[in-house]
Amino acid sequence: MILKIIGCILIIASSTVMGYSAAYRFARRPEELRALQSALQILESEIVFSVNPLAEAFERISKNTSQSIGIIFKSTADLLKQKTGMTAQQAWAISIKKCESQMNLNKEDIEILLAFGSSLGCSDKDNQVKNIRLACSKLAMEEKKAEILKEKNERLYKNLGLLGGMLISLLLI
């Protein structure tokens, strides 16, 4: 009987952790989208007011943003500094693909970032600024959607984890 109780406690605890883990992704996505918008605004300032190379701008941005987002800019800066003939577009795409699993972004967010990177470093200052603002506005729309999903699903997954574990425990007893 004691083994059943211990087993039930373990099942409830593990399913609750799984529920909280799923809820965490919904909570982190809006935060990361805000951090991305902030990073792109810093990039806009770097382009408009500074004459530093793109690699240095990315390096500076990586130090001023959250780790999960800064890693994209750090990776891109490192690729550009290697001077292997890689374009900014290629370095950005490689960095996004490499860091995708470390972020709590969905497919649409990644597509926005890849679309932003497709014109990175290949146009004049004004077009770069327009591209950054377009990406920021798209990310802002995704952030609003993410907030709605967070409100709707965060509590659901937390409760579902706990209640699912309780249900499984009841079925095993």
Domain residue ranges in the chain:
2-172
CA-CA distance, 82 to 79, in Å (whole number)? 5
Q: Is the pLDDT of residue 22 over 80?
A: yes
Contact assessment for residue 44 and residue 116, using Cβ atoms and an 8 Å cutoff: no
CA distances in angstroms from 57 to 12, 74, 80, 112, 167, listed in the order given: 48, 10, 11, 20, 53
Q: Please tell me the predicted confidence (pLDDT) of residue 97.
A: 92
Q: Is the pLDDT of residue 144 over 90?
A: yes
CA-CA distance, 168 to 173, in Å (whole number)? 9
Q: Note the pTM of the prediction, 2 decimals.
A: 0.82
For 25-60, write each residue's pLDDT tens digit.
Answer: 888 999 999 999 999 999 898 888 887 788 888 888
How many other CB atoms sit within 10 Å of the CB of residue 59?
Answer: 19
How many other CB atoms sit within 10 Å of the CB of residue 142?
Answer: 21
For 83-126, write each residue's pLDDT tens digit.
Answer: 787 888 888 999 999 988 888 888 999 999 999 988 887 778 88
